[in-house]
């Protein structure tokens, strides 16, 4: 059966988020200078129309090409580079050889879950985790994707991490990555409103998107221990004032970091809801 290739261009910084959104309809992806190519042997028209409607700010353009059979996973793997965060953490795929010794190394199977380290928001989250004391802390990873942040929490000495995601593929991929990295992480399908947790959390990690972060802010506060740290990303620089304002009833703002137009923010739990 012939495959369909969608050659998609988008505004810089949106490619990885869009790939995660398209994971249910496409088998694999290959990043390009303009965006990425997506491959499927099924019908993809409706999924593409929905994507364009939901992300007008990404300035999505695409064209379809019918192509022959090929091992597109293998082609994609050839284009996945390693990532080094702050010269301290190497993020690589299992098919990459170790480049050199870093204090931390994370192996991520580059399938179709969000969080391979290439997107600025994932980079910012890992960079901030390097500065946060995780030793013997209880950690929540909300919307965990590949579970890369959970694995980093484990490497930083967390006492235990609860990770969850609404997407079946993310949970499957996250579980695989947790096993590859021998990390002590409990991963489940669900969201912060549907799952129950045995304790409050010293650190809450949430790299999702602006609307979900705003909607779930009170939930992060409810599950945060007194003095606990909240680390957020997934929003653009223009949204930083809105995000900071949303924190105020529940958290004391601490820091804001930026990369390629995206932001990460840290805050500390200040009082009960």
Write down the pLDDT at residue 115: 63
Domains within the chain, CATH numbers bracketed:
3-77 (3.30.70), 80-269 (3.40.50.150)
Write down the pLDDT at residue 273: 46
pLDDT (tens place) for every residue of the chain, 273 residues total: 567 889 999 998 888 889 888 877 887 777 788 999 888 888 888 889 999 999 999 999 999 988 765 555 565 555 678 899 999 999 998 888 887 789 999 998 766 555 677 788 999 999 999 999 999 999 999 999 899 999 999 999 999 999 999 988 889 989 999 999 999 999 999 999 999 999 999 999 999 989 999 999 999 999 999 999 999 999 999 999 999 999 999 999 999 999 988 999 999 998 654
Write down the pLDDT at residue 227: 95
Q: In what order do the strands lie in the sheet with 104-107?
A: 83-85, 89-92, 104-107
- DSSP for 189-207 reads ES-TTT---SS-EEEEEEE
CA distances from 25 to 8, 41, 51, 75, 109 (A): 14, 9, 11, 19, 19
- Provide the 10 A C-beta neighbour count for residue 128: 22
Confidence (pTM): 0.76
Q: In what order do the strands lie in the sheet with 262-269?
A: 185-189, 160-165, 138-142, 201-207, 224-236, 262-269, 251-259
Nearest to 229, CA basis, from 112, 113, 133: 133
- Which sign does the torsion angle of CA 117, 121, 127, 130 carry? negative
What backbone phi and psi angles, to 5 degrees, belong to 260?
A: 50, 40
Please tell me the chain's helix, strand, coil percentages from 3-state DSSP, rounded to the nearest 5: 30, 30, 40
Write down the pLDDT at residue 271: 65
Matching residue, tokens 């700010």:
57
Q: Give the ranges where 56-155 is alpha helix by DSSP (H).
A: 72-78, 120-129, 148-155
- Say how far apart CA 3 and CA 216 lie, in whole Å: 39
Determine the Cα angle at 83 with ends 79 and 86, to 5°. 160
CA distances from 254 to 168, 203, 217 (A): 34, 14, 16
């Amino acid at each position: 059966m012939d495959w369909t290739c969608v050659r998609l261009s988008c505004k810089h910084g949106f490619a990885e988020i869009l790939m995660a959104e398209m994971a249910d309809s496409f088998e694999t992806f290959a990043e390009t200078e303009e965006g990425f190519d997506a491959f499927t042997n099924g019908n993809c028209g409706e999924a593409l129309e929905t994507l364009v409607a939901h992300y007008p700010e990404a300035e999505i353009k695409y064209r379809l090409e019918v192509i022959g059979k090929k091992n597109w996973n293998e082609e994609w793997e050839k284009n996945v580079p390693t990532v080094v965060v702050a010269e301290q953490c190497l993020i690589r795929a299992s098919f990459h050889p170790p480049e050199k010794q870093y204090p931390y190394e994370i192996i991520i199977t580059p399938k179709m879950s969000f969080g391979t380290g290439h997107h600025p928001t994932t980079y910012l989250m890992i960079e901030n985790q390097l500065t946060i004391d995780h030793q013997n802390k209880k950690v929540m990873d909300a919307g965990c994707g590949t579970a890369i942040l959970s694995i980093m929490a484990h490497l930083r000495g967390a006492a235990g991490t609860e990770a969850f995601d609404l997407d079946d593929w993310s949970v499957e991929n996250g579980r695989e990555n947790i096993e590859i990295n021998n990390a002590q992480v409990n991963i489940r399908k669900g969201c912060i409103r549907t799952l129950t947790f045995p304790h409050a959390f010293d650190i809450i990690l949430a790299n999702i998107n602006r609307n979900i972060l705003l909607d779930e802010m009170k939930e992060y506060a409810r599950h945060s221990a007194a003095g606990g740290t909240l680390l957020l990303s997934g929003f653009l620089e223009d949204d930083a004032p809105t995000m900071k304002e949303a924190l105020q009833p529940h958290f004391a703002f601490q820091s804001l970091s930026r990369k390629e137009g995206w932001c990460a923010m840290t805050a500390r739990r200040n009082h009960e809801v």
